Structure 1
Amino acid sequence: MNEERSLSAAEGYLQLEMPDEAMRELEGLSNQVRQSQHAAELELAAEMMQKRWDRGVELARALCRLRPNKKSYYLHAAFCLHETGDTLAAKSFLMSGPHSLMKDALFHYNMGCYSAVLGDPEEALSYLRKAFALDPALRKTAENDPDLVGVGI
């Protein structure tokens, strides 16, 4: 089917970090297929690669409504909100996600970043310690994260 080929091509373009080409593939889909979960996930990835954060927020929130237990959608929505400059909304939205996020290293890492940006380095360190315990590799990421400057990692 042509639409399956377009979805597959869009996914391939994203793997090659070619979001413009991925979007062209997605734009050729029927409205029904374009509104599918798979197509929305691909579009979200393309928008995030292109740093189009407002559209990313819209797509990620729609995916959260569609699958309220999928952790990654909340992480993406919060990250996009943070990138728009609304870090308080990002933190609040991430906290509204499924309880399973509490076991996710990226949840704690992102909450640490959001806390740091919002001026609470102690809370940031508390979240970061949890993140590092769950995924020690995040410590290396934190060393170069501009959100964490001044936290004292």
Structure 2
Amino acid sequence: MNVDRCLQAAEGYLQLEMPGEAMHELVQLPRGVREKFHAKELELAAEMMQKHWNRGADLARELCQLKPHKRAYFLHAAFCLHETGDTLAAKSFLMSGPKSLMKDALFHYNMACYSAVLEDPVEAQRYLRQAFELDPSLRETAKTDKDLVSIAWV
């Protein structure tokens, strides 16, 4: 088995938005290789593309343990948890991430979404203002975000 070829093929399939094919490549890898960091990252991307939120949350949390300073894994884990319907766990998990998340517009945006879903409009608006300050382009995303329909933010 050519491990590098499988990993490259999986990456290519993900770039083409073909997560099923990427997973087909990844499951062929020997267990020891599949447990390595890069393969886990690729699997997380494929699972999220396929909306396999429970598996995505598990993988993202594993990646958080392996690289606790990497903000993206905390964002991914929380998003997956939210998509499973466990928004309270998503919010809690995201808050447990590295302090550098406070500078990330997506942290504030996601916290706004989670707060809105958890029926805390004041907190949601506060987070949303911070998100827009850090990244004004998020206003466009917010216009169609179903999580934010319950709050006035314009």
Deviation at 1:30, TM superposition (A): 1.0
Indicate the residue corresponding to 2:7 in structure 1.
7
Indicate the residue corresponding to 1:52 in structure 2.
52
> Partner amino acid for 1:3?
V
Indicate the residue corresponding to 1:96 in structure 2.
96
Deviation at 1:68, TM superposition (A): 0.6
- Percent identity of equivalent pairs: 72
> Partner amino acid for 1:119?
E
Indicate the residue corresponding to 1:151 in structure 2.
151
Distance 1:82 1:134 in 2: 23
TM-score normalised to structure 2 length: 0.97
Distance 2:21 2:84 in 1: 24
Indicate the residue corresponding to 1:128 in structure 2.
128
Deviation at 1:150, TM superposition (A): 2.1
Secondary structure of the residue aligned to 2:128 is helix
Unmatched 5+ residue regions in structure 2? none
> Partner amino acid for 1:39?
A
Work out the number of aligned pairs and report it: 153
Distance 1:140 1:24 in 2: 35
1:29-67 Cα shifts (integer Å, max 9, x gaps): 111110111100100010001111110111001001101
Secondary structure of the residue aligned to 2:97 is coil
Root mean square deviation, CA, Å: 0.8
Secondary structure of the residue aligned to 1:152 is coil
> Partner amino acid for 2:86?
D
Deviation at 1:121, TM superposition (A): 0.8
